[in-house]
């Protein structure tokens, strides 16, 4: 299977890099400067699961020749429109597009552009950053990728994707309930991102503050109420895991959105929080904490 990974950032670089290291046919679609960097010296992964140097194939948008079997799409939500134009030439009649973006808005965008038959659902769990030396640094030992047909069916292409993802060192799972799992991740990261950005601290910092735990669980309840109204409320076990992670005493856990905020970078506020607010408004659901977190982030003016 020919795999095109769109972007070699913290997430795409990590999963695509791990697949490349076990000999899968992986090419990275990157900008010209990043392409020159990778062609010159590859890129490094620093991880609790083992460090590695990856020297993959790379292309820029103008260098794409022919269709790929799988497009693994891992860009930030605000980069989606530009990414689509970059990888469109790689999409053929039988290409599968597997996004691992946050939220759900991107599914509508991709199906509108390429047709529902080409789009899969996807969820990845990993905490990675790009450091000052352009290395991909994994912050903890969590690493998994889940994928599935949006209608929950099994398919030959899903079996092929699952086969090629096995053995790369991360947990890889084909799912018959991928939309449910995407919503559950969205509820969790919206609650985590919303509360850490609103209160400007880690999970442990907020837990130690007066009424901090109450605010965190209220934020989680607001996010999940939107999911419930949409038909995808978090199931008991995932909801319990989310609650435990969000209220763990002494935890240094933060959200990528909060890390971006602290570094004065653009955030995915619209995709993670704003879209939930829109859905809440349409359903008549009150979400005061979620709304406050989103409003606060819209006031943050990072460089474009």
Residue 192, CA distances (Å) to 38, 108, 154, 200 in order? 33, 24, 32, 11
Cα 261 to Cα 280: distance, rounded to the nearest angstrom: 24
Cα 272 to Cα 261: distance, rounded to the nearest angstrom: 14
Take residue 249 and report the two structure tokens written for it. Answer: 């005493």
**CB 6 within 8 Å of CB 71:** yes
Residue whose pair of structure tokens reads 């972007």 in the numeric block: 7
Residue among 65, 76, 185, 301 flagged as catalytic: 185
Take residue 167 and report the two structure tokens written for it. Answer: 């053995």
Which residues pair with residue 46 across a beta bridge? 137
Per-residue DSSP letters for 22-57? Answer: TT-EEEEE--HHHHHHHHHH-EEEE-TT--EEE--E
Helices assigned H by DSSP within the chain: 12-21, 32-41, 80-87, 105-114, 156-165, 178-199, 203-208, 212-229, 236-246, 256-262, 269, 275-283, 288-298
Cα 187 to Cα 225: distance, rounded to the nearest angstrom: 9
Q: Say whether 259 sits in a helix, a strand or coil.
A: helix
Which residues pair with residue 27 across a beta bridge? 4, 57
65 flagged as catalytic: no
**Which are the catalytic amino acids?**
185
């Amino acid at each position: 299977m020919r795999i095109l990974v769109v972007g070699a950032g913290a997430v795409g670089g990590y999963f695509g890099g791990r697949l490349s290291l076990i000999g899968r046919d992986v090419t990275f679609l990157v900008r010209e400067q990043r392409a020159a960097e990778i062609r010159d010296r590859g890129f490094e992964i620093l991880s609790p699961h083992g460090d590695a140097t990856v020297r993959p194939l790379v292309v820029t948008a103008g260098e794409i020749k022919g269709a790929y079997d799988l497009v693994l799409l891992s860009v930030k939500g605000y980069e989606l429109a530009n990414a689509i134009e970059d990888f469109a030439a790689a999409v053929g009649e039988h290409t599968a597009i597997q996004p691992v973006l946050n939220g759900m808005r991107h599914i509508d965008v991709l199906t509108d552009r390429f047709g529902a038959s080409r789009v899969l659902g996807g969820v990845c769990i990993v905490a990675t950053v790009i450091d000052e030396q352009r290395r991909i640094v994994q912050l903890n030992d969590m690493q998994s990728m889940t994928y599935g047909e949006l209608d929950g069916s099994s398919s030959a292409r899903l079996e092929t994707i699952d086969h090629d993802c096995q053995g790369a060192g991360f947990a890889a799972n084909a799912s018959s309930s991928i939309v449910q799992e995407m919503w559950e991740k969205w509820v969790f990261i919206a609650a985590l991102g919303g509360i850490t950005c609103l209160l400007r601290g880690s999970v442990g910092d907020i837990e130690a503050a007066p009424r901090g735990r109450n605010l965190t669980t209220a934020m989680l309840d607001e996010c999940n109420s939107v999911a419930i109204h949409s038909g995808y409320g978090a199931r008991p076990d995932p909801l319990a895991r989310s609650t435990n992670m969000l209220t763990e005493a002494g935890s240094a856990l933060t959200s990528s959105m909060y890390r971006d905020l602290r570094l004065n970078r653009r955030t995915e506020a619209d995709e993670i929080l704003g879209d939930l607010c829109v859905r809440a408004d349409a359903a008549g659901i009150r979400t005061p904490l979620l709304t406050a977190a989103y409003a606060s982030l819209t006031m943050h003016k990072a460089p474009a």
